[in-house]
Every structure is written in C-alpha cells, then in structure tokens.
Amino acid sequence: MRPFSYQRATSAAEALRLASELPGARFIAGGTNLLDLMKLSIERPSHLIDINRIGLDRIEDTPEGGLRIGALVRNTDLASHKRVRKEYAVLTKAVVAGASGQIRNKASTAGNLLQRTRCPYFYNTDQPCNKRNPGSGCSAIGGFSRSLAIIGASDTCIATQPSDMAVALRLLDAIIEIERQDGSGRTIPIADLYKAPGTSPDVETTLAAGELITAVVLPPPSGGKHFYHKVRDRASYAFALVSVAVIVHDNGSGKVALGGVAPKPWRLETADAALPLGAEAATATLLASATPTHENAYKIPLVERTLGSILSQARS
C-alpha cells in the first residue's frame, strides 16, 4: 500500500471537517473494498478518515412507518433486523446473497452502496481502463465481457455496479440522506445516486467531494411477496451474473429490479406496469435498449427465465 496518514473521527461533523481540510482524503468504514483496492494501488488516498466511531449505527422506526438505517449499520445487522426480515424481506435476501459472513460482519450500509465494480479490467492494472485511468481506453469492450453490463453502459465503459443490497434498496424506493461540509443536508432517491458512465466512468455517483452518506431511509412497507434470485457461477460467495428482485401482490401487480446487468440497479417503472403480463413482456420492456456483447447476450434470456421462475413461485 502507498503511505497514508490516518485519523479517527468521533462525529459526522468532525469527519466532514477533516475531509475539507485534507485534500485526497477518503472516509473508511468497513474497509472491505477500499483496502482491497488500496493494496492494488487502484485507490490511492493520501489520508484515511476512520468513521467507524461516529455513531450512525442504529436502525430506527420513522414517524411515517418506515425505517432509517444508519450509514454505519453493518450488513449482518441490517439483514438480521426483525422488521427488515419480516417487512422488507427482499432486502435481507439481497444482503445475505452477497459476499461472505466475514465480510458482511464488517461492511457498512453506505460502503456497500459505494463499492466499486468487479470488472476484471478495473482490477488488472496492466490493462487500459477508463474507470481506473480516465482516457486510457476500455479493455472490456472487445475483451472478456461475460460478466459485464448489457444496458445503461457507454462506449467508454461496460462495468456493472456489483452491490446486491443496492438492487433491493432500488426496488424499495429508498432515500439516501447526505450531509455536507457546511453542516447542511440533502436527500436523494437511490435512483439518482448512480451516474450513467457516459464519457466519465470514473465518476460513479452524484455525491460531491467531501459529502457523507449518513442514512438510508425506507418508506413504509408495501406488503406483497418478496423475492431476490441471484444467478452466479458458484452457489455462494460470487458476484451476480444476473439478479432479479421482485415484490409482487396477490392481484399480480408489483415491481422488479435487476442486478448484474448495468452500472446501477436496473429498474423501469414501465416494466413494473408490464409485470402482470408475465416475464416475457416485463423483460422485453426492461431490456428494450440492451446492447449486449456476443459474450453476455445470454443475460437477456437468463433475466427472463429467472423472472419467470419467480412469478410462477409467487402464484403457487
């Protein structure tokens, strides 16, 4: 690892102040992704601000009947929370489909949302990658693209966002609470957190420099049957080839979001409306603008069949 200095913050305000004073600083929470990338010199912070002791580690009921999940709540605790398991089961299912028990014990809620892609060329520092080294080119386009995006990508980058948790949060219409250095706050729907890669795939989110995610808020539970089906190369501890998150009600209405296919959790409200018509119609709407490579075109029928399997389970 490259040398860096390190400081522990004791509050969100202190963490934000330190970030404003230290250019090149990064916040570190669980560290399970950041340290991995620092060992490979892909992430090169000059300073780390440890935010593990600033609180924000509770899950609270909101007055509206939803939940406020602190940014530092560990993945295991989020998945284990009584109301999440019962009323937001798709979220528990998505979280426990990701990573390993050891990593879920450490990884934080906000850190999970901000984890970087697992595109093999992003990790291979010997190869061009516009996300790692802007302007150097994309090795994945024309390269080994089997695991990469089929939709929402650009001609500079076809990496996917790898979070399972983010797919469930997108399905649940979660709201992200953000604190700024001047002490003010703002909220954005999770649909607006991830930026399309366009010509700058190195910029992955709409967070401004020095902003800190402090919580993720869930609206009141919607009921329905919850599904999260993840298709991967191994039965456990592997990233998704595709994942399909669904909440479906007895009358056939519902909503659907996909993981493993795009630079963000993929959801279209028009596809939700097509869900009562079945998997074929919903997939056709969801993936109408897909531009797969010859190596990952299999993801389109895989999404349709996975969704079909979920809908037939929901009916039985």
Instruction: Decide if residue 128 touches another protein (CB under 8 A).
Output: no
Q: Which is nearer to another protein, 10 or 253 (CB)?
A: 10
What does the per-residue mask of binding to another protein show for 91-110, with x meaning CB under 8 A?
Answer: -xx--xx-xxxxx-xx----
Q: Taking the chain, what is the end-to-end CA distance rounded to the nearest angstrom?
A: 53
Work out which of 4, 22, 191, 308 binds another protein, going by CB under 8 A: 4
Instruction: Decide if residue 119 touches another protein (CB under 8 A).
Output: no
Q: How far is the CB of 226 from another protein (least distance, A)?
A: 9
Q: How far is the CB of 70 from another protein (least distance, A)?
A: 17
Piece of the chain touching another protein by CB under 8 A; list 12-20, 33-41, 152-160, 201-209: 33-41
Q: Which is nearer to another protein, 8 or 305 (CB)?
A: 8
Q: Which residues contact 138 (CB under 8 A, 6 or more apart)?
A: 121, 128, 129, 130, 155, 156, 157, 158
Q: Which is nearer to another protein, 76 or 291 (CB)?
A: 76
Instruction: Decide if residue 22 touches another protein (CB under 8 A).
Output: no
Q: How far is the CB of 86 from another protein (least distance, A)?
A: 5
Residue corresponding to tokens 């200095």: 5
Which residues from 163-182 bind another protein, rule CB under 8 A? none
Piece of the chain touching another protein by CB under 8 A; list 189-197, 207-215, 232-240, 248-256: 232-240
Instruction: Decide if residue 55 touches another protein (CB under 8 A).
Output: no
- Residues in contact with another protein, counted by CB under 8 A, come to a total of 40
Q: Which is nearer to another protein, 82 or 294 (CB)?
A: 82
What does the per-residue mask of binding to another protein show for 66-85, with x meaning CB under 8 A?
Answer: ----------x--xx----x
Work out which of 15, 16, 32, 159 binds another protein, going by CB under 8 A: 32
Instruction: Decide if residue 5 touches another protein (CB under 8 A).
Output: yes
Instruction: Decide if residue 240 touches another protein (CB under 8 A).
Output: no
Instruction: Decide if residue 86 touches another protein (CB under 8 A).
Output: yes
Q: Which residues of 92-111 are buried (b: 16+ CB within 10 A; e: fewer)?
A: bbbbbbbbeeebbebbbbbb
- List contacts with another protein (CB under 8 A): 1-6, 8, 28, 31-32, 35-36, 39-41, 48, 50, 52, 76, 79-80, 85-86, 89, 92-93, 96-97, 99-103, 105-106, 125, 234-237
